[in-house]
Structure 1
Amino acid sequence: MTDLRARIGALFRGPEEFDLTSGSIGKPLFFLSMPIVVTNLFQTAYNLADTFWLGQYSTDALAAISFAFPMVFLLISLGMGISVAGSVLVAQYTGADAEREAEYAASQTVAFAVIASVLLGGVGYFLVEGFLDVMGASADVLPLATSYMEVISLGLVAMFGFAVFIALMRGYGDTITPMLVMFGSVVLNIALDPFLIFGWGPFPTMGIRGAAVATVFSRALALVVGLAIMFRGTRGVQIRLGDMAPDLDFLRRLVRIGVPASVEGTGRALSMNLLLFIVALFPDPVVAAYGIGTRVFSVIVLPAIAVARGVETMTGQNVGAGKPDRAEQAAGLAAKALFGVLTAAGIAVVWFAAAPVAAVFTTDPEVVDIAAGFLRIVAPTFGFIGITRAYTGSFRGAGKTLVAAAISVLMLGVIRFPIAWVAAAEIGETGIWFSFAISNVAGAIIAYAWYRRGTWRDGDLTEQRVDVDEAAAEPVPTDD
């Protein structure tokens, strides 16, 4: 047992054990990113659990979740700019040794995140059915997807609030604490899913609505834990109640940095929803296969997302410390490593095991066959996703969120969607699958070429110091 703990400790090291602004590049990036990989695996685990159990429940429920997931992503993406801006500001202030400003930035981010998620959740609740109808959900699928999204919309503050907790702790350099909290949340979610979906034990049969209730409840509990950790301030960045009164001047800073990040996230979400509009022109088995394929992709590219977040933090702290060369080295190292790892994963794991992987989620042989075709076409281009993510992560860390957004819009809106629209009409659903592969390669080329221009280097945001009232700077008492 002692040996096992030692090995785990060797993989996961907190910010107190490494310095992001000095020394080697590879080791701190690894120790920063590894817990993010695990955290994202946990995040994806609940998606896969929903997909698995609903696939056993009915094919219509599986198709409904294929419509619902992109809309969940859209709602969160509309507000994600706040979390990205908060994370970038916390990272740059931390790198500049401006602890008080980092705390104020974190506190304001939490306050505005709550306001934004309540507003977005309310709008989403009333517009969800019409939106899904426009997206082309069939008569059998529409009420199921609507039922799921109504619950998610009402609980959006819990889901988005927890995402903000993760982002702020990451900006400080602590990726271990969010990983541990996420683990507890996911275990609870997975345990609740079959009880609420099928009505096991004392619970009523809720079907797809049960999956949504399990998700919201587990995220709400995780948010409570996350807030308690940040208020105590014993791990990661601290937040203070006195700093949470909405500051309109600070809001303008959040908006300036965050709106492009929201555009980037919203662009990705809209791309998924627009592609669903095309996919919905095909029978429900194709829709279900699309849902399976995108869930599998979300697992395969987890290292890219995680390392990109690590690069974002390293860039933020090093730009704040006046060391842009270290940030550039981190981005280049991440791009090379991700290209190799994800290319190998795409070929070795998915290409040769596409059908068995698809069969994990459904017993319908038609859906398995279609999903396997989707996976085989896109898998060889996974490495290019890694390149794109590494460089856009560095852009965000430097505060150049508009550039990251522009790359996303070009990749998804200008390249992927038009190709899918034209190719689907010519060669059927296979044309949609090819649009993913082509846009993955194009996105990597665009991101690399743009990064080489070096315009991200003037992204230091720490010159704008926060005027914090001294009374609010008093330490918050803890139980320690």
Structure 2
Amino acid sequence: MGVRAQLARLFKGPEEFDLTSGNIGKPLFFLSLPIVITNLFQTAYNLADTFWLGQYSTDALAAISFAFPMVFLLISLGLGISVAGSVLVAQFTGAGAERDAEYAASQTVTFAILASVLLGGIGYFLVDDFLALMGASADVLPMATSYMEVISLGLLFMFGFAVFISLMRGYGDTITPMLVMFGSVVLNIVIDPFLIFGWGPFDPMGIQGAAIATVFSRALALVVGLAIMFRGERGVQIHLRDMAPDLSYFGRLARIGVPASIEGTGRALSMNLLLFIVAFFPDTVVAAYGIGTRVFSVIFLPAIAVARGVETMTGQNVGAEKPERAEQAADLAAKVLFGVLTAAGVLVLFVAAPVASVFTTDPAVVDIAAEFLRYVALTFGFIGVMRAYTGSFRGAGKTLTAAAISVVMLGVVRFPIAWVASGEVGETGIWISFAVSNVLGALLAYAWYKRGTWRDSDLTEDRVDVEDASLDGTVTDD
């Protein structure tokens, strides 16, 4: 009973706190903590693959370093749909428009399915050429290709579950996705070594086994997520009657979602373009780059989670016509994240080598990865600042602004510095590009946010006159 009481105090659902009134800090904490844990589980997928494949071979570890950015790219291309759905659900929930929120969620699921099937098909047929273009070596290319072919075929399940998380978060329920993710991650971690190494009745499948484990566990998670949303007992509810593709509503989703896709795709392209530079170096550098980016994905979990919480709080308060609360939430999140992540960066300075050694036994890879971590460590706090303010931009529907900040940080600052500096000082130039772009990205996001243009948001143009489908099943434009 004591453990259950402690859990009840830590994890409170939307029925226990109001995002649009009262204290700012507590609801943001209760909203963000489950997202931190959900994202930790999400990262556990990648970390499990990285760990087991690091034991399998250095070439397999290098292959996954090429594959992960392509996975990120495919998902990012469709990311805007889930962001748009989350923003609309949050704003309609804040405005008390429950049927509008349900219709937005239902249409989001429909177009997410269509987008994932299309992108998965494109990814499957182009994966080999894409990875070769990125500079994968002859030893690495076949393994990276086999991994990505499986992931492309299963993109529906991976992207579909991400949409479930987004829609539930827009409503304010971050606990349910956390619990579903937990079960999925445990399953993935358990079956990973069986498929990779051929334990028990399975034949050894190497890197392809890791991909199959990921897709299978995500597929089960998506089935559970859809069942939860159709039942509607927790979070936002979806209805079959609302899922017939509505092209006019797709325009509404696209207006918010396309810039968000640009932002996500810009991040993914940056990772892939940096890989193009990294590929000029030996496979030990490629593997170290993969380890470093995986470690960053764990350290930045609080920033990503709190940014998602700020996104939801901003959306609901914009819907409730209380933009001042949204600004207070963004400012609070930026201050807290700067302090927490800066402290984490100081710690990483002292434990960089032991952390890198968790993922590989190759001493050369450990040394390079540790250098990468040390160069970037003291800029971690700036990532928190940028994430907090861009999250508020997205929640207000200003996804184009968030995209512009991301493109400047990654395409105008990080990539050019990496390209020039790596020619002068080797791989160290790539590490320097991360540090400089982190600082400049935070300064740009803060300055832009304080201009206040994000307040100019009009929810009414996204409203639809949703008829009671039990009567005639129609949805018409207002």
Question: Does TM, normalized by the shorter one, top 0.5?
Answer: yes
Question: Corresponding residue for 2:304?
Answer: 305
- Describe the shift of the 1:474–1:215 C-alpha distance in structure 2 as closer, same or farther (beyond 3 A): farther
Is 1:106 aligned with 2:109? no
Measure how far apart 1:462 and its partner are: 3.8
> Structure 1: where are the runs of 5+ without partners?
476-480
Residues 55-454 of structure 1 correspond to what in structure 2 (within 5 A)? 55-348=54-347, 350-454=348-452
**2: distance between equivalents of 1:474 and 1:281?**
62
- Cα RMSD of the aligned pairs, angstroms, is 1.0
Question: Corresponding residue for 1:11?
Answer: 10
Question: Corresponding residue for 2:453?
Answer: 455
- Describe the shift of the 1:278–1:16 C-alpha distance in structure 2 as closer, same or farther (beyond 3 A): same
Measure how far apart 1:471 and its partner are: 2.1
- Describe the shift of the 1:4–1:364 C-alpha distance in structure 2 as closer, same or farther (beyond 3 A): same
Question: Corresponding residue for 1:478?
Answer: none
Contact 1:320 1:462 survives alignment (8 Å): no
Is 1:46 aligned with 2:45? yes
Structure 1 length-normalised TM? 0.98
Measure how far apart 1:467 and its partner are: 2.3
Structure 1 residue runs of 4+, over 4 Å off?
472-475
> Structure 2: where are the runs of 5+ without partners?
474-478
Measure how far apart 1:474 and its partner are: 9.4
Structure 2 length-normalised TM? 0.98
Contact 1:292 1:358 survives alignment (8 Å): yes
**1: distance between equivalents of 2:408 and 2:426?**
24
Per-residue Cα deviation, 1:245-293 (whole angstroms, up to 9, x for no partner):
0001100001110000000000000000000000000000000000000
Amino acid at match of 1:74: L
**2: distance between equivalents of 1:216 and 1:459?**
38
Per-residue Cα deviation, 1:388-440 (whole angstroms, up to 9, x for no partner):
00000000000000000000000000000000000000000000000000000
Per-residue Cα deviation, 1:322-367 (whole angstroms, up to 9, x for no partner):
000000000000000000000001112x110000000000000000
Measure how far apart 1:470 and its partner are: 1.9
Q: Quick one: percent identity of the two aligned structures?
A: 83
**1: distance between equivalents of 2:81 and 2:328?**
27
- Describe the shift of the 1:321–1:126 C-alpha distance in structure 2 as closer, same or farther (beyond 3 A): same
Contact 1:308 1:393 survives alignment (8 Å): yes
| DSSP 3-state at the match of 2:220 | helix
Contact 1:307 1:334 survives alignment (8 Å): yes
**2: distance between equivalents of 1:285 and 1:258?**
38
Measure how far apart 1:6 and its partner are: 0.8
Measure how far apart 1:463 and its partner are: 4.5
Contact 1:362 1:368 survives alignment (8 Å): yes
Contact 1:355 1:372 survives alignment (8 Å): yes
Question: Corresponding residue for 1:471?
Answer: 469
**2: distance between equivalents of 1:257 and 1:326?**
22
Amino acid at match of 2:119: L
- Describe the shift of the 1:201–1:31 C-alpha distance in structure 2 as closer, same or farther (beyond 3 A): same
**1: distance between equivalents of 2:147 and 2:22?**
48
